[in-house]
Amino acid sequence: MAEQRLAMRTQFPASAESIKPRLKKAPEFPILEKQNWLIHLHYIRKDYEACKDVIKEQLQETQGLCEYAIYVQALIFRLEGNIQESLELFQTCAVLSPQSADNLKQVARSLFLLGKHKAATEVYNEAAKLNQKDWEICHNLGVCYIYLKQLDKAQDQLHNALHLNRHDLTYIMLGKIHLLEGDLDKAIEIYKKAVEFSPENTELLTTLGLLYLQAILAAGSMMQTHGDFDVALTKYRIVACAVPESPPLWNNIGMCFFGKKKYVAAISCLKRANYLAPFDWKILYNLGLVHLTMQQYASAFHFLSAAINFQPKMGELYMLLAVALTNLEDTENARRAYTEAVRLDKCNPLVNLNYAVLLYNQGEERGALAQYQEMEKKVNLLKDSSSLEFDPEMVEMAQKLGAALQVGEALVWTKPVKDPKSKQRTTSTSKAASFQQPLGSNQALGQAMSSAAAYRKLPSGVGGTSQLTKPASLPVEPEPTVEAQPTEASAQIREK
């Protein structure tokens, strides 16, 4: 038995584990992402202070090599408005992971928020090389190109974004590009496609409705330009049913009534427009014009002064103000206003003509002659640059002044268009009525809708604002119908 036991021991040797001592446990190395879950939890709960504490602890343990902690820290900085700090942290993430398109997108986003649009486009292009199927990169590139005023490239990128993935925001930006280009029809088409894609989006529906109203308003303004006031009012009636509190709409309606010589109705509509938009200088401008036409010079001064406060660089406003001051017998301030008008307006001959009339009436023939000669230069420049027909009242006044100053033989006017009704009105009335068409069609309607009928200043010879010049008429040949205007104004009041 003893021999068998010995044989068994020699046949089955002892295991190595029973002979070798047990090894020690391997040391634990820090895991860079072991607290990412906690950082994410605090971030989505918007518990940013606790999130920053965990991030600080994580970065200390990893010696600043935890990419996710840096990324979330940058997001928090951006939310807090520290854009530059967030940019630096996102750039650190891009260094730690240079093949990550998301990091480059965030770098570009921070550059965009800092107003560095060109640098943002460069980074977005680098991100696009890493991920060519990301619609967000194309969309943001398009937005950057819009700010760089490269609208063609912006359209290409936004179309690429829609090809990759359709989103409401991309449609909105594409529609804005067409509005910036003044192409209302294409903008409407884009918004129609957007509404078909997302019919529950109230912003898209509202914008599309406003564009349709804008198109109707633009059509009305074109008809108003050609003097079709009744047809224009029909169009405006459609808009009024949908947007009854639109300041541009009531401004346009008021100028239609002004064109129809219904001055009381015009003032009522313009007052409503002014109530809805008290800081709109064009409405104040029109109110001043209508009050000048009705010889209510104090009211005209009030509205024109307010318009100048909002638009201090427009010479025609100062000229109209000078006309009102002249009729209020404040000659000194009228001269100051004319001086400012001449300084600001370098192309409107009516400014110089009005100023020359005032100086002549004050006995300053030398100054009047200088202004008359300046007016001649502007008229000749206008005749060379375009085939304009000057207002007949302006031509008549210039001829009278030239005869009084014994100059003006060399000034050749274009053949004026005769107005058979002009003889039945006073000088000031004729001036105001001749101005009504360009004001109602361009300067007044410019405010009608910012993208439907953008403000466009007329060439100075076409019945400009100073066609209200005759209140400062020459004493050489007094007009026989001075009392006609109050009668006409009272007739308008009775009609209303």
Query: Where does residue 94 fall: left (phi above 0), alpha (psi -120 to 50 degrees), or beta otherwise?
Result: alpha
Per-residue pLDDT at 382? 81
CA dist 284 and 444 (Å) reads: 10
Smallest CA-to-CA distance from 368 within 461, 475, 289, 467 is with 475
CA dist 341 and 358 (Å) reads: 14
CB atoms within 10 A of CB 475: 8
| Separation in Å, CA 132 to CA 135, 137, 138, 164 | 8, 8, 9, 10
Q: Which two tokens stand for residue 13?
A: 């040797």
Q: Domains of the chain (ranges plus CATH)?
A: 36-177 (1.25.40.10), 209-495 (1.25.40.10)
* pTM higher than 0.85: no
Which residues make Cβ contacts (< 8 Å) with residue 206, sequence separation at least 6?
none
- Torsion angle, alpha carbons of 314, 317, 323, 328, to 10: -120
Per-residue pLDDT at 276? 93
Output DSSP code: residue 386: S
CA dist 11 and 8 (Å) reads: 5
User: Are 411 and 356 within 8 A, CB to CB?
Assistant: no
Q: How many helices (H) and strands (E) does the chain have?
A: 24, 0
Per-residue pLDDT at 220? 85
DSSP 303-361: HHHHHHHH-TT-HHHHHHHHHHHHHTT-HHHHHHHHHHHHHH-SS-HHHHHHHHHHHHH
CA dist 141 and 146 (Å) reads: 9
Q: Which two tokens stand for residue 237?
A: 């009636």
CA atoms within 13 A on the CB side of 309: 10
CA dist 452 and 1 (Å) reads: 116
CA dist 470 and 354 (Å) reads: 8
Q: Which two tokens stand for residue 421?
A: 């009704």
Per-residue pLDDT at 318? 94
Radius of gyration (C-alpha) of the chain in whole angstroms: 37
Per-residue pLDDT at 201? 87
Backbone angles phi and psi of 164, in degrees to 5: -75, -45
CB atoms within 10 A of CB 224: 28
Intervals of the chain under pLDDT 50 = 1-2, 6-10, 12-20, 26, 29, 409-410, 412-496
Q: Which two tokens stand for residue 306?
A: 């307010």
Residue with tokens 């002014």: 274
CA dist 42 and 57 (Å) reads: 14
Smallest CA-to-CA distance from 195 within 217, 216, 175 is with 175
